[in-house]
Structure 1
Amino acid sequence: MPRTTRGTTSRSRAAVLLTGTVALVLTGIPSAAATSPEVIVLPGASSAEGIARGEGDTFYAGDLFLGDVFRGDLEEGTAEPFIDAPDGRMALGMVADTRHGLLYVAGGFTGQAYVYDLETTDTVATYQFAPPSPPDADPPTTLVNDVTLTRSGAWFTDSRRAVLYFVPIDRHGRPGEFRTFPLRGPAADTSGDFNLNGIAAVRHGGTLVVAHSANGELYTVDPKTGDSAEVAGVDVPDVDGIVLHGRRLWAVQNSNRVTEVRLSRDLTSGTVREVITSDLFQVPTTAIRHDGELAVVNAKFDTGIPPTADQYEVVVVDD
């Protein structure tokens, strides 16, 4: 039987090898059984990584190495192919601007980002943030990894560069010319193979929160200056995407868990409230929150890079 466990702890440690078998070591985490999670299959997917919440029960999820996008229904537990991306694209983190019917998608090793019309599925805009990473580059030279939406525009992370990319959005919802924002402080650390990753906005975009995979930490970023600071007291090894609701933050970790953090009012620190694990997690990367549940994408990097699993899915668990 699938098993979901939850624990309360201030710290947990794990290590993950993305090109081999995931090794999971948890220490000091009491757990208790919870409801069985639901699995939503992405039919025909060759890989998976990002997910975005749409209107109502709708969600969107991407085929990482093909760039295609699926549309699903969380209530019905179904998904279907939606956007057939042109050859050469990738689909990592994504966010839906439901007010204007647009989907913003991070383009990974291509150094690009894409904006799709959610009614016609047409490409509205393509951005070349950085030169594409050569196929044989190890580590890659760019990895446009995740995106969040604010009132003024879309912010993208790059796991190989100490910058954020900003696409302004006018009052009619039209995306404009991008700008590159250099970072300062701990968020600018690019010493690891994969660095900045997940991103979320608080205070209507007045502050950004970013996850750093190599350091296993969270940082705040001032979008006006690029200055960053550590969110103290939070240890989230192998962190990937993040979900933010008020001061509750969920950090999705490639080491088969999702950690809930309670942020302080001034965002300078956080407290780990619980850790969610499931037998159905297989290198989760990103998530969305809907009606007290988390929909978590299984990337299955433990089968290789590119992954070679027969099926890719979204696992739904209580938050």
Structure 2
Amino acid sequence: MEPTHRPATRSRLSRSLRRAVVTVTTLGLGAGLTLVGAGAASAGPRHDHGSKSPASIALPTGFQPEGIAIGGKTVYSGSRVSGDIYAADLRTGKGRVLSTGPGTPSLGLKVDGRRLWVAGGSGGDARVIDTRMGRVRASIELTSAPAGSTFVNDEVVAGRYVWFTDSLQAQLYRVDRAHPDRAVKTVPLTGDWSQTPGVNNANGIARTPDGRALLVVKSDTGQLFRVEPSGRASLVDLGGYALTNGDGLLLQGRTLYAVQNRLNKVAVVSLDRTGTQGRLVRTITSPAFDVPSTVAASGRYLYLPNARFGATGDPATLAYSINRVAR
């Protein structure tokens, strides 16, 4: 995700954490940090051939979505303006505002059982939402950095911890999954990581296939990094391919789906077991894409919200949607 306003190694990992379950869009990290793994819509859903469920799900007019997560047959999206959380049925396309936002962004989303983790963007915080009632179960301050110098963009869930990226600061935030009220650990990014001032850096986050480290895309350079639980980052060899405008990440087995938002495509990358190198297999695009920001999966389909960054017209009056493509 791009901010609406700019400013302005550890090898000894708990075996039990390697068994942590990865939900559809939850790309987790385990204990010592092993990765495992009521608004009305603006238009009716659009169906495609071969499926009875809609290929496009309309969001409320002016919603300005960013994050997406899927739990069962429900898809969730967050507004980068109001922070509202919208929930829709994948089978019918019908939905509603599940949780009214705080007036600050709701960016990256991850489903965690009956909870939804929300990255708070420029608010420098995170929230935990009850997926049944929509109430806020926890509000977490991740950083006390002044406005304009933080942008909490995305997260990954697994084992004992939830990890968040900050696009404007060279650090990750680690939150205790079971006790989000406990102290947040700030983990500086070191090694090969070089922060570029004043622009989006760290964005989407996922796990490595072997569950031993994180993958973080750097939006401004298109680089992908393997990040140890200690924060030490190593550049992933993608054979010369750059994830330009890299945004949300989704790992399925050894396949990484990386959204390249302004390029209106998803890069499909085959990774080695350790996540130290990979190769581009293909790219996915669709006429329905209008700057998609991130991706979630259900069955044989990928779902992406159209963020429409830079769209002409008043954003409050524009139409927004979630669109489906085959993997």
**DSSP-derived class of the 2:129 partner:** strand
Aligned to 2:309: 301
- Do residues 247 (structure 1) and 246 (structure 2) align? no
How far residue 181 of structure 1 moved from its aligned partner, in angstroms, is 0.7
Percent identity among equivalent residues? 35
For residues 184 and 217 of structure 1, the distance between their equivalents in structure 2, rounded to whole angstroms, comes to 15
Output the TM-score relative to the length of structure 2.
0.78
| Conservation of the 8 A alpha-carbon contact between 1:109 and 1:132 | no
Equivalent-residue separation in structure 2 for 1:306 and 1:144 (angstroms): 25
Deviates more, 1:42-51 or 1:298-307: 298-307
Aligned to 2:20: none
Tell me whether 175-184 or 305-314 shows the greater mean CA deviation: 305-314
DSSP 3-state at the match of 1:313: strand
Q: How many residues align?
A: 277
Q: Does 1:195 align with 2:211?
A: no
Equivalent residue letter for 2:149: T
Match of 2:119 in 1: 106
Partner of 2:97: 81
Alignment partner of 1:312 is 2:317: no
Partner in structure 2 of residue 91 of structure 1: 106
Unpaired segments of 5 or more residues in structure 1?
A: 1-15, 20-33, 135-139
Change (3 A) 1:108 1:174: closer
Match of 1:11 in 2: none
Letter in 1 for 2:116: L
Question: Can you give the 5+ residue segments of structure 2 that lack an aligned partner in the other structure?
Answer: 6-47
Tell me which residue corresponds to 2:55: 38
Q: In structure 2, what is the Cα distance between the partners aligned to 1:162 and 1:144?
A: 11
Which residue of 228, 232, 236 maps to 1:227?
A: 232
Question: Does the CA-based 8 Å contact 2:208-2:226 persist in structure 1?
Answer: no
Helix, strand or coil for the counterpart of 1:176? Answer: coil
Cα distance in 2, alignment partners of residues 94 and 62 from structure 1: 8
Q: Matches of 2:272 and 2:278 in 1, distance apart?
A: 6
Change over 3 Å in CA distance of 1:192–1:271 after alignment to 2: farther
SS in 1 for 2:193: helix
Please state if 1:261 is matched with 2:276: no
Q: TM-score, normalised by structure 1?
A: 0.80
- SS state at 2:279 partner: strand
Instruction: Name the structure 2 match of 1:50.
Output: 67
Distance 1:78-1:274 versus aligned 2 partners, 3 A rule: farther
Cα separation, 2, equivalents of 1:219 and 1:264: 14
Distance 1:301 1:103 in 2: 24
Distance (whole Å) between structure 2 residues aligned to residue 78 and residue 296 of structure 1: 17
Task: Kindly state the Cα deviation for residue 304 of structure 1 after the two structures are TM-superposed.
Answer: 6.2
**Cα deviations across residues 190-248 of structure 1 (Å, max 9, x unaligned)?**
3461000001124685311111100101111111x211111112411000001111110
RMSD: 2.5
The one-letter code sitting in structure 1 at the alignment partner of 2:120 is G
1:177 aligns with 2:192: no
